[in-house]
């Protein structure tokens, strides 16, 4: 009846710091020989004559083989995915835009492993100076550039199947000499899932191991518990750890954004008879349960995951008819923005993502039955989406397969055993009740994956 422990996997902190070292002496509008790298798109003929370049330094986290990695971490303003393969940096001033497509994969000549492999790598990218007052926009993707030069590391675009992982922009006033500016990339919550952790009680539990993402509750009983939804980038990686100590103040954290860089909240929507509330231990305000809840950012973290959401289920939650589907708490990023990059062919809404936590009230019928020594009884349990099925015991945490006498707890009046595996179409499972001693006894069925119980069955054995 107990669920297995969860192993949390983390990966190193990621910073995208733009150390912009202007080579021009004054405004960016002067003419002169260009030192721009190959791969810059000259979409304005005059742009190539701008003087000088700047450099962007990126630190990449060490890659890991698996996705959906869970880490006890707080996301920083600067985000570089462990799946990053390339970055587009567009520099705009006075109507002129110059764009660089840089390879930041592990085999890029722009990147070096100055630190131990476990700490990741550092990439340095040259970008143009196009004016005195520039806007620099970075867009991180999961693939290396097309036509990437193996010597320089620059290309001419990205594959059409590229996924946008993060984006951000910053203004820069070019005044000559060395300059320092931070280009903050903010993660795009392209994938949503659960954190495989929660609260388990007699009447509430969660089961994410069987692919059904179930919130299991006792039918007819009010219950409360906790789920832990997680957001990740479009490549399937959740957000990376930051150095310790963590920075202070609101500026240390950043909202989720859509592919165009606009703030993007995550939401949870509950069905009728269910309420949700985001729990924030850093806040003194009491949670406000309702049919919707909003997660604006991940500036608070606990329970080895990102958010804890309290779920309250009413005793009047309807049971699920055999063969029907349950209602669900839906976790969504609500992303409907049009993709901004010409090399990405995906249509609007492609990055929209949702994750359903199916609310499953488990039950047993009939609630009372009479048996004799020659006439066993039968009850049916209902447990939607549970391939492991149900088991029986005298009470929550009690004696397995037993119906315990209501007056003499040392006596079993009947044995309860499964009559077969659960039906994966109707999600019903039959149990046979066989008399052992005369008397009145009770037992419950329980979900094998979470331990959540049904209401009790009363048996009269004569």
| pLDDT value for 311 | 95
Closest CA to 334 of 378, 377, 294: 294
* Extents of the domains making up the chain: 15-187, 191-233+258-362, 366-461
Q: Write the pLDDT tens digit of every residue in 118-140.
A: 456 678 888 888 888 889 898 99
Distance CA 459, CA 441 (A): 5
One fold for 191-233+258-362 and 366-461 = yes
Of 3-17, 91-105, 154-168, 271-285, the range with the lowest mean pLDDT is 3-17
* Overall average pLDDT of the 381-401 stretch: 94
Average pLDDT over residues 406-410: 95
pLDDT score of 215? 94
Please give the residue that has the higher pLDDT: either 344 or 37.
344
The pLDDT of residue 453 is 96
φ/ψ of 102, rounded to 5, equals -115, 140
Q: How many Å from the N-terminal Cα to the C-terminal Cα in the chain?
A: 31
Both structure tokens of 178: 């060395």
Q: Please, how many CA atoms are within 13 Å of residue 357, restricted to the half-sphere of its CB?
A: 35
Q: How far is CA 75 from CA 184, 230, 305, in A?
A: 12, 13, 12
Residue 36 has pLDDT above 50, yes or no: no
CB-CB contact of 147 with 239 (8 Å) = no
| pLDDT tens-digit map of 152-210 | 999 999 998 899 988 888 887 776 554 555 567 888 888 888 876 666 788 999 888 76
**CATH number for the domain whose boundaries are 191-233+258-362:** 2.60.40
> Strand pairing of 457-461 and 368-371?
parallel
Count of residues making up the chain: 462
**Where is average pLDDT lowest: 221-225, 322-326, 431-435?**
322-326
Query: For every residue of 374-433, which 3-state class applies, written as one string?
Result: CECEEEEEECCCCCCCEEEECCCCCCECEEEECCCCCCEEEEEEECCCCCCCCCEEEEEE
Share of the chain above pLDDT 70, in %: 70
- Residue 283: how many other CB atoms lie within 10 Å: 10
- Confidence category of residue 397, pLDDT binned at 50, 70, 90: confident
249-292 pLDDT tens trace: 444 445 678 888 888 888 999 999 999 998 876 677 788 899 99
Question: What stretches of 256-392 show up as alpha helix (H) in DSSP?
Answer: none
What does the pLDDT read at residue 3?
21
Average pLDDT over residues 74-98: 79
Alpha carbon distances (Å) from 23 to 85, 123, 129: 27, 19, 8
From residue 366, give the alpha-carbon distance in Å to each of 147, 180, 199, 264, 268: 69, 73, 29, 48, 35
What is the per-residue pLDDT for 53? 61
- Reported as a single tens digit per residue, the pLDDT across 212-232 is 789 999 999 999 999 988 878
Q: 362 vs 106, 188, 209, 329, 454, CA distance in Å?
A: 50, 37, 18, 17, 6
- Using alpha carbons only, give the angle 51, 53, 54 rounded to the nearest 5 degrees: 140
CB 32 within 8 A of CB 49: yes
pLDDT band of 248, cuts 50, 70, 90? very low
Q: How far is CA 418 from the centre of its chain?
A: 37
pLDDT tens readout for residues 280-311:
766 777 888 999 998 876 555 544 566 789 99
Q: Is this model's pTM higher than 0.85 or not?
A: no
164-173 sheet: strands from edge to edge: 154-155, 96-103, 86-93, 133-141, 164-173, 186-187
- Assign 118 to helix, strand or coil: helix
Give the closest residue to 224 by CA, choosing from 215, 212, 232, 233.
215
* CATH top-level class of 366-461: mainly beta
| Cα–Cα dist 458/104, whole Å | 66
- With 50 as the cut, is the pLDDT of residue 364 above it? yes
The answer to whether residue 13 scores a pLDDT higher than 90 is no
């Amino acid at each position: 009846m107990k669920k297995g422990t969860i192993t949390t996997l983390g990966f190193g902190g990621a910073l995208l710091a733009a150390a912009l070292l202007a080579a021009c002496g004054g405004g960016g509008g002067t003419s002169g020989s260009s030192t721009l790298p190959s791969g810059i798109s000259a979409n304005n003929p005059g742009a190539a004559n701008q003087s000088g370049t700047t450099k962007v330094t990126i630190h990449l986290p060490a890659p890991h083989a698996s996705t959906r990695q869970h880490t006890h971490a707080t996301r920083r303003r600067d985000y570089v995915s462990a799946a990053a393969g390339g970055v587009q940096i567009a520099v705009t001033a006075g109507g002129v835009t110059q764009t660089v497509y840089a390879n930041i994969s592990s085999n890029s000549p722009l990147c070096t492993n100055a630190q131990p492999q476990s700490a990741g790598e550092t990439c340095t990218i040259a970008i143009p100076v196009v004016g005195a007052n520039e806007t620099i926009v970075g867009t991180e993707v999961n693939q290396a550039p097309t036509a990437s030069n193996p010597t320089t590391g620059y290309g001419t675009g990205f594959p059409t199947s590229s996924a946008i992982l993060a984006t951000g922009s910053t203004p820069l006033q070019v005044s000559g000499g060395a300059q320092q500016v931070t280009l903050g990339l903010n993660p795009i919550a392209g994938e949503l899932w659960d954190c495989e952790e929660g609260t388990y009680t007699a009447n509430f539990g969660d089961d994410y191991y069987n692919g059904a993402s179930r919130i299991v509750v006792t039918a007819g009983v009010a219950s409360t518990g906790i789920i832990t939804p997680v957001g990740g980038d479009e490549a399937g990686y959740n957000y990376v750890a930051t150095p310790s100590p963590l920075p202070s103040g609101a500026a240390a954290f950043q909202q989720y954004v859509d592919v165009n860089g606009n703030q993007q909240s995550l939401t949870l929507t509950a069905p009728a008879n269910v309420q949700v509330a985001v729990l924030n231990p850093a806040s003194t305000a009491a949670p406000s349960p309702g049919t919707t809840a909003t997660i604006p950012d991940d500036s608070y973290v606990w329970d080895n995951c990102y958010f804890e959401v309290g779920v309250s289920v009413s005793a009047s939650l309807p049971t699920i008819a055999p063969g029907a589907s349950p209602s669900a708490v839906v976790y969504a990023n609500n992303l409907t923005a049009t993709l901004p990059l010409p090399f990405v062919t995906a249509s609007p809404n492609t990055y929209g993502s949702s994750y359903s936590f199916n609310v499953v009230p488990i039950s047993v019928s009939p609630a009372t039955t009479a048996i004799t020594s020659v006439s066993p009884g039968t009850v049916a349990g209902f447990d939607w989406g549970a391939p492991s099925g149900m088991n029986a015991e005298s009470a929550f945490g009690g004696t397995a397969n037993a119906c315990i006498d209501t007056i003499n707890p040392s006596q079993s009046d009947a044995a309860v055993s499964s009559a077969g595996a659960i039906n994966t179409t109707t999600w019903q499972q039959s149990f046979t009740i066989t008399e052992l001693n005369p008397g009145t006894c009770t037992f419950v069925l329980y979900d094998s994956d979470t331990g959540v119980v049904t209401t009790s069955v009363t048996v009269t054995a004569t």
